[in-house]
Chain A
Amino acid sequence: MPRRQRDRTLRVDPIKCEGHALCIEAFPEMITRDPWNYPVLNPLPIPDHLLRHAEHAVKVCPVLALRIVTGDRDRDRERK
C-alpha cells in the first residue's frame, strides 16, 4: 500500500503497553480491544477529522506507549 509522506498512523510500543485500555475508550473509532484488553490499532492513516481524538488517546496513555508516527517508518518491518 503506497503511503503518502505526510500520512499519520498510530503506533504502540508493545513492551511499554500495559493493557490499561484507556486509549481504547478514548479513540474507539480506530482502536479496538483484543481478548486480553490490549489495543488493536487500525493500520490505516488517521483521517484529518479524527486527528484530535487520536491525540487525546496518546495523551491518556499513562505509560507513553502510544504514538502518532508520520511518514513511512515501517520500511524495515519485514525483517525480524
Chain B
Amino acid sequence: MSAGPRLTATGAAYADLATHVRCHGPLPATDAAHIIDIVERSGLTGRGGAAFPTGRKLRTVAGNARRSGAVLIANGCEGEPASAKDRSMLMKAPHLILDGITLGARAVGADHAYLCVHEGQDEVLRTLQRAQTERRAAGLPDVEMTVTEVPNRYVASEESSLVHLLNGGPALPLSTPPRPFERGVRGRPTLVDNVETLAQLALTVRHGADWFRSAGTSDAPGTALVTLGGAVAAPGVYEVELGLTGADLLAVAGGPSEPLQAVLAGGYFGAWLRADRFAASAITPRGLQAAGAAMGAGIFLALPATSCGLAETARIAQYLAEQSANQCGPCLNGLPALAEALTALAHRGGRKPSGTITALSPYVTGRGACRHPDGAVRLINSALTEFAADVRTHAQRGPCQGLRRAPILPVPTPERASARTGGRIPAEV
C-alpha cells in the first residue's frame, strides 16, 4: 500500500479549475470504448452503497443505449444521515465530479446528465454554479447538465426514486424490473452513479487501471472516502486505502476518544460489529460482508462502552420506519412493528420484544420494491446479536444505565426530514 490522497490531493477548501488541472491534469479526450475498458480493468466499484462493479454497469448501459441514447444521473443526495463525504467532495472538488459526469456520459452515450442533490443545500448549489462558470469560460466539452434538487427523505435518493422524480413523478421507488439501466429517464437506459464513484472514474481514466490498482488490495482496489463519527478523537471525512483494518481506520480519526463497545459499519444500511471484531475486520466490501456488516457508503460510527446500543438502534429504527415510502405492505407495517419492539426492549425490557423481532424479520426482508426494509432489518438484527448480553440484561432486569447518556448517532430532526413528496411529518423523532 503506497499512494497518498487522490480525490483530496489538492488539499484546497475549493479547488478552482486552474488548481484542479494543475493537480490532476486536463480532462482526457479518451473515447467511449477506452473509458469502459479502463474502468472495467481498474476494478472500481460503486461508492454509493452497493459496491457494484462500475465498469460492468457502464458496459451494460452503453449496450442497452446503442439505438436510443442514454441518460446519466450523478447521485449526490447523500441520504445517509451520518454521511458527509459526498457533500465534502461537492464543496472541495466539484471539477473532479463534473469531469466524471462528462466522461461517464461519453462512455454510455448520454447527451444529458442530472446531478441530484438534496434540497436546501444552497452552498453546494452556489459552488456548482461557480465551477460550471469556470468550465464554460475555459470551453470544456462538457455534457449538458441539470442540477436537480431532491426532497429530503431517505428513500428519495434510491436510484428508481430519482428516475421517478426526473420523469415528473414523486421521488418514490418504482417497481422493478425494468431497472434504470434498462429503462429509466424518458424511457432511456440510465446510468446512476454516486458522485464519489464518478470522481474516482475521472482520475482512473486519466491515470489508468494499473494506477488505480496501485492502492488498496487486489480484491478491493483504490481509495475510498469514509465518514468517521461517534466516539473518535477527530470525527470527519477521510480518504483511505481500502484493505486497512478496522483498528487502523479508527486511528485515522485519532483513535477512540473513550473505550468502545461496538462500531456501526456501513451507516443505517449496515450493521453493528463489536469493537474487537471490528478492529480485526478488513475495511473492504467483502471483508465487512464476511463479518456480517457492509461497507455501504463508507460510514463508521463508534459507540462508547457506556452507551446503550439497543436504545441507539431503536432511535434509528424509528427513523427508518418513518422514512418508509409507505408503498409496500411489508415495509409500511413491518418496520414500525420492528421499531416498536426494539424500543420496548430498550426502554422497558422484558422477554417478548426480541422474540417479536426474530419472528417478524423474515416477513420484511426482501419483500419491498426497494432495499430500504432489508437494510433496516439487518441493522436491527445486528443489534440483537452484537448486544446479546444487553438483550439478556434488559429481558431480566429492565433498562440499563446507558439510557442516561445523550444519544451518539445522528437522526435528522422532523424539520429536516420533512418532504414535498407526500411525506407525513413525524411528530417526534
Contacts and interface: CB of A to CB of B under 8 A. Distances in A.
Interface of A: 13-19, 34-38, 40, 73, 76, 79-80
A80 B370 contact: yes
A78 to B, nearest CB: 9
A19 B368 CA distance: 13
Contacts of A73: 177
A32 B50 CA distance: 31
A31 to B, nearest CB: 13
A14 B329 contact: yes
Given A14-B327, A14-B330, A34-B363, 18 more contacts: A13-B175, A13-B369, A14-B175, A14-B331, A14-B367, A15-B174, A15-B328, A16-B175, A34-B330, A35-B337, A35-B363, A36-B330, A36-B333, A36-B363, A40-B367, A76-B179, A79-B50, A79-B179
Contacts of B175: 13-16
B408 interface: no
A19 B50 CA distance: 30
A80 B330 contact: no
A80 B329 contact: no
16 contacts: A14-B369, A15-B173, A15-B328, A19-B329, A34-B363, A35-B333, A35-B337, A35-B360, A36-B329, A36-B363, A38-B329, A40-B367, A79-B50, A79-B52, A80-B158, A80-B371
Contacts of B329: 14, 17-19, 34, 36-38
Contacts of A17: 328-329
A17 B49 CA distance: 28
Interface in B150-194: 158-159, 173-175, 177, 179
B342 to A, nearest CB: 17
B334 interface: yes
A56 B329 CA distance: 23
Most B Cβ at <10 Å: residue of A14, A19, A34, A38: A14
Interface string B107-134: 0000000000000000000000000000
A32 B173 CA distance: 25
A79 B53 CA distance: 11
Contacts of A34: 329-330, 363, 367
B378 to A, nearest CB: 12
Nearest to A19: B329
B189 to A, nearest CB: 13
B49 A80 contact: yes
Interface string B341-370: 000000000000000000010010001111
Contacts of B327: 14-15
A58 B87 CA distance: 46
Closest 4 CB pairs of A and B: A14-B328, A38-B329, A36-B333, A80-B371
Nearest to B329: A38
Contacts of B328: 14-15, 17
A13 B158 CA distance: 18
A80 to B, nearest CB: 4
Contacts of A35: 333, 337, 360, 363
Contacts of B334: 36
B269 to A, nearest CB: 9
A37 B363 CA distance: 11
B45 to A, nearest CB: 12
Contacts of A79: 50, 52, 179
Contacts of A76: 177, 179
A19 B159 CA distance: 26
Contacts of B50: 79-80
B299 to A, nearest CB: 16
A25 B174 CA distance: 27
Contacts of B52: 79
Contacts of B333: 35-36, 38
Nearest to B181: A76
Nearest to A33: B363
Interface string B50-92: 1010000000000000000000000000000000000000000
A80 B269 CA distance: 11
A36 B334 CA distance: 8
Nearest to A69: B177
B363 to A, nearest CB: 4
Contacts of B159: 80
Contacts of A80: 49-50, 158-159, 370-371
A17 B369 CA distance: 11
B294 to A, nearest CB: 11
A54 B187 CA distance: 31
Contact of B363 (A13, A16, A18, A40): A40
B177 A38 contact: no
